[in-house]
Amino acid sequence: MVARGRVAVSLGGSIAAPDDLDTRLLRGIAKELLAASATRDVLVVVGGGRLSRRYIAACRELGADEGFLDWVGIDSTRLNARLVIAAMGGVAYHDVPRTFEEALVAVRSFPIVVMGGTHPGHTTDAVTTMLAEVARAQEVIILTNVDGVYTADPRTHPDARQLPEVTAARLIEIVGPQSADAGSPGVVDPMAARIIQRARIVTKVLDGRDLRGVRAALGGKPFKGTLVVPDQAATGRRPKKG
């Protein structure tokens, strides 16, 4: 029996559960993940998005400390994970694993496993990269609401340039010291970037609303976004047009 490969997917809360839930987009993403699961195991970690930030902001105003707020965020990611499971038509593991160990047991019987957060202080991307490392996944795919890694935040820096390829070391330089507060946004957080570097795992960052791009990234084809490669492994990838 030939061993199946594995891919770990970080599905941002801004994609899985925006203010107005987009069930059509969720079905589209689920379709691509289901297609990918025909040839390899798919481990998905879902973020909390605006749901998480709204609850965290309210609890913070009510006087909750950061440790409590971390668990509020984790609960939000697990609720969003159930949305994604619902879109899988019964193919994915039916529950939301609370630990990596549970996810690894579930993936022995199901081609897709969807989970949320696991540890206080760890973002969705950090959880995804840690899961990828322990699961020995061949790559990480980060689906967010920005089409790749930029030289600066394109939402606040109009002159920021999208980078088609970066090394893990360069990614760490770019993401820099981001806030560790519960609910802080970011394309890739510093902890995840360091795990990517440590594990030497190829990572693809792209806009999860671009279903053609999602299909291409999952299928190992050129995609519009950023390819993060291990240090000293740059390929000179050029931007994809369109």
Residue 232: the pLDDT is 78
Residue 35 included in any domain: yes
Residue 235 included in any domain: no
The model's pLDDT over 98-141, given as tens digits with 9 standing for 90+, comes to 999 999 999 999 999 999 999 888 889 999 999 999 999 999 99
Residue 186: the pLDDT is 52
Residue 69 included in any domain: yes
Which one is predicted more confidently, 235 or 24?
24
Residue 137 included in any domain: yes
Residue 238 included in any domain: no
Residue 86 included in any domain: yes
End-to-end CA distance of the chain: 40
The model's pLDDT over 11-22, given as tens digits with 9 standing for 90+, comes to 999 899 888 889
> How many structural domains does the chain have?
1
8 A C-beta contact, residue 232 and residue 169: no
pLDDT reading at 1 higher than 70: no
Residue 103 three-state SS: helix
Average pLDDT in the chain: 89
The model's pLDDT over 139-192, given as tens digits with 9 standing for 90+, comes to 999 999 989 998 887 778 888 899 999 999 999 988 875 544 443 445 788 999
Match 């671009």 to its residue by tokens. 210
pLDDT reading at 71 higher than 80: yes
CATH number at residue 159: 3.40.1160.10
Residue 239 included in any domain: no
Residue 112 included in any domain: yes
Name beta bridge partners: 82: none
Domain carrying residue 172: 5-229
Closest CA to 185 of 33, 56, 30: 56
